[in-house]
């Protein structure tokens, strides 16, 4: 394109020079004047073309320099932003490391106190007399052996957390999980709560075990919540923990520093325990509610509930065993009602509870027939083996939440001499 433009310009300059020469010749200037005019006109055009070319090139150079300066300015701004972001990330990581170090220190102190209290009781129990005469095994020795197994399981971190899904109905999409803690002995056999609590309760160890398992459950929930904050997790808490003057203040301080768990962690206790709670337990439940944590009641057998009191106590969920609730249904004057609530249609019970901010969950659902009946009662959530059995969470998450085994082992060694 530039060559064509140059050829056209040269042609135009020649034509203009010829016109000038022809004009001079026709006006009587002669051939010499015509030639001189032609050469002069052509020289002038070429000189003018050179000036124009240099001006165009200079202008292009100026534009390129301006573009380079703008690109350099943008690059400098981007580098400054990247530098500021890197500095912010480094500072955030540093602050987070300090915070995690402080949290770990606080948690270790709690674990040490719990283990020392439990070890003191175990120390007293181990010092009891051995087998009775006549070759018969003393039941107290069996209890001591089981207590030793419990202590070893806690110290060696042989504590598994199982999760069972709670689904929304009728879609059956998992919206909550309920957590269960299980201990294992050194052979890998799972100890169910009914087994070890039978010997731990007479020794006054239930509080220590419950507190330690609750503490560990919260630690794991904190890590699970980071992966999916839309799913809530029910975590069992006993009135013994709520009334424990040593454990609860430290536990409350830990939750105060982790208020982001309020949407993911739901504390659960039985209806009987809730009804029998004292002033201390009610006050401590109120402190948890002030932090934004919610409560759930399970083992609900009495349907004549004070829903206003539940609402004031921040109880947001009721868990009712599916089959016992269905067995409560009776036909009264052509409509289904619950025996304990004859004035209320059975399908209105869940809606009435929902009006007070309480959702009913049907647990222990085992068959599709029960699902149909539950849906007819306008119950929106279900839990049971039909939807999924309790399963242990993966080992990687367990490992992250394990308390420092060496530290616990050292605390036990200091409390009970000769413990390996």
Give the tens place of pLDDT for each residue, 106-151.
554 555 555 555 555 545 544 444 444 444 445 566 667 777 887 7
Residue with tokens 């102190």, as numbered in its chain:
109
The two beta strands, 335-338 and 341-345, are antiparallel
From 385, 395, 394, 397, select the one nearest 165 (Cα to Cα): 385
Q: How many domains does the chain have?
A: 2
d(CA 416, CA 116): 10
Q: Let me know if 304 is exposed, middle or buried by CB neighbors in 10 A (0-12, 13-18, 19+).
A: exposed
Query: Mean pLDDT over all residues of the chain?
Result: 76
Residue at a domain's end among 20, 54, 78: 78
* Run of H or E including 29: none
**Domain match, 63 and 186 both:** no
**Domain match, 283 and 176 both:** yes
* Higher per-residue pLDDT: 68 or 358: 358
**Domain match, 52 and 171 both:** no
From 214, 310, 308, 299, select the one nearest 265 (Cα to Cα): 214
Q: Is the pLDDT of residue 408 over 70?
A: no
Residue 67 domain-assigned?
A: yes
Q: Let me know if 272 is exposed, middle or buried by CB neighbors in 10 A (0-12, 13-18, 19+).
A: middle
From 354, 413, 408, select the one nearest 378 (Cα to Cα): 354
**Domain match, 74 and 166 both:** no
pLDDT digits (tens, 9 = 90+) for 176-194: 999 887 888 888 888 877 7
Residue 71 domain-assigned?
A: yes
Residue 45 domain-assigned?
A: yes
* Higher per-residue pLDDT: 116 or 250: 250
**Domain match, 168 and 268 both:** yes
Peptide linkage before 170 cis (omega within 30 of 0): yes
Q: Is the pLDDT of residue 219 over 90?
A: no
CB atoms within 10 A of CB 419: 19
* Tokens read off for 406: 């060496």
Residue 152 domain-assigned?
A: no
Residue 133 domain-assigned?
A: no
Q: At what angle do helices 2-26 and 30-126 cross, to 10 degrees?
A: 160
Q: Is the pLDDT of residue 198 over 50?
A: yes
Contact 344, 336 (CB under 8 A): no
Domain that includes residue 35, residue range = 2-78
**Domain match, 367 and 234 both:** yes
pLDDT score of 134 = 45
Residue at a domain's end among 78, 96, 112: 78
DSSP letter string over 2-14?
A: HHHHHHHHHHHHH
d(CA 310, CA 354): 11
Residue at a domain's end among 52, 78, 104: 78
Q: What is the 3-state secondary structure (H, E, C) of 274-325?
A: HHCCCHHHHHHHHHHHHCCCEEEEECCCCCCCCHHHHHHCCEEEEEEEHHHH
d(CA 118, CA 210): 11
SS3 category, 341 = strand
SS3 category, 135 = coil
Q: Which residues pair with 337 in a beta bridge?
A: 330, 345
pLDDT score of 405 = 44
192 φ/ψ angles, rounded to the nearest 5 degrees = -80, 150
Contact 223, 400 (CB under 8 A): yes
**Domain match, 71 and 173 both:** no
Residue 221 domain-assigned?
A: yes
**Domain match, 290 and 388 both:** yes
Global confidence as pTM:
0.63
* Tokens read off for 323: 């089959």
- Stretch 275-301: mean pLDDT, rounded? 93
d(CA 61, CA 86): 37
**Domain match, 63 and 167 both:** no
Residue 390 domain-assigned?
A: yes
Residue 328 domain-assigned?
A: yes
**Domain match, 344 and 240 both:** yes
Q: The domain spanning residue 302 has which CATH number?
A: 3.20.20.450
pLDDT digits (tens, 9 = 90+) for 35-73: 776 777 777 777 777 777 778 778 778 888 888 888 878
Q: Is the pLDDT of residue 174 over 80?
A: yes
Q: Alpha carbon of 134 to those of 138, 139, 141: distances in Å?
A: 10, 14, 15
**Domain match, 242 and 377 both:** yes
* Tokens read off for 91: 């500072």
**Domain match, 185 and 37 both:** no
Q: Is the pLDDT of residue 283 over 90?
A: yes
């Amino acid at each position: 394109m530039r060559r064509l433009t140059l050829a056209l310009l040269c042609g135009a300059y020649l034509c203009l020079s010829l016109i000038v020469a022809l004009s001079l010749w026709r006006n009587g200037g002669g051939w010499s004047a015509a030639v001189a005019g032609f050469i002069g006109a052509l020289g002038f055009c070429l000189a003018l073309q050179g000036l124009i070319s240099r001006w165009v090139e200079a202008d292009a150079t100026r534009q390129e320099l301006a573009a380079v300066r703008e690109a350099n300015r943008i690059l400098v701004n981007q580098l400054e932003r990247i530098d500021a972001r890197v500095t912010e990330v480094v500072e955030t990581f540093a602050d987070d490391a300090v915070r995690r170090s402080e949290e770990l220190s606080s948690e270790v102190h709690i674990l040490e106190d719990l283990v020392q209290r439990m070890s003191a009781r175990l120390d007293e129990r181990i010092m009891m007399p051995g087998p009775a005469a006549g070759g018969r095994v003393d039941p107290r020795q069996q209890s001591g052996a089981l207590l030793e197994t419990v202590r070893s399981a806690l110290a060696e971190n042989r504590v598994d957390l199982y999760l069972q899904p709670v689904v929304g109905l009728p879609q059956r999409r998992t919206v909550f999980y309920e957590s269960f803690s299980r201990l294992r002995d050194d052979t890998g056999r799972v100890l169910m709560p009914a087994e070890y609590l039978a010997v731990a309760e007479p020794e006054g160890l239930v509080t220590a075990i419950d507190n330690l398992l609750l503490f560990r459950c919260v630690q794991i929930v904190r890590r699970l919540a980071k992966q999916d904050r839309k799913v809530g997790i029910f975590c069992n808490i006993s009135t013994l923990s709520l009334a424990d003057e040593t454990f609860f203040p430290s536990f409350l301080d830990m939750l105060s520093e982790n208020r982001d768990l309020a949407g993911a962690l739901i504390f659960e206790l039985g209806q009987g325990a809730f009804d029998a709670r004292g002033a201390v337990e009610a006050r401590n439940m109120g402190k948890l509610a002030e932090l934004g944590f919610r409560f759930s009641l399970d083992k609900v057998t009495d349907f004549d509930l004070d829903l206003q009191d539940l609402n004031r106590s921040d109880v947001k969920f009721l868990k009712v065993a599916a089959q016992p609730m269905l067995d409560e249904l009776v036909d009264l004057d052509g409509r289904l009602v619950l025996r304990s609530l004859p004035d209320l249609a059975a399908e209105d019970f869940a809606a009435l509870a929902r009006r007070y901010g309480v959702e009913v969950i049907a647990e222990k659902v085992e068959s599709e027939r029960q699902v149909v009946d539950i849906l007819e009662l306008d119950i929106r959530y279900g839990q049971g083996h039909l939807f999924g059995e309790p399963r242990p969470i993966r080992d990687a998450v367990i490992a992250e939440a394990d308390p420092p085994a060496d530290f616990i082992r050292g605390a036990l060694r200091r409390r009970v001499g000769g413990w390996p």
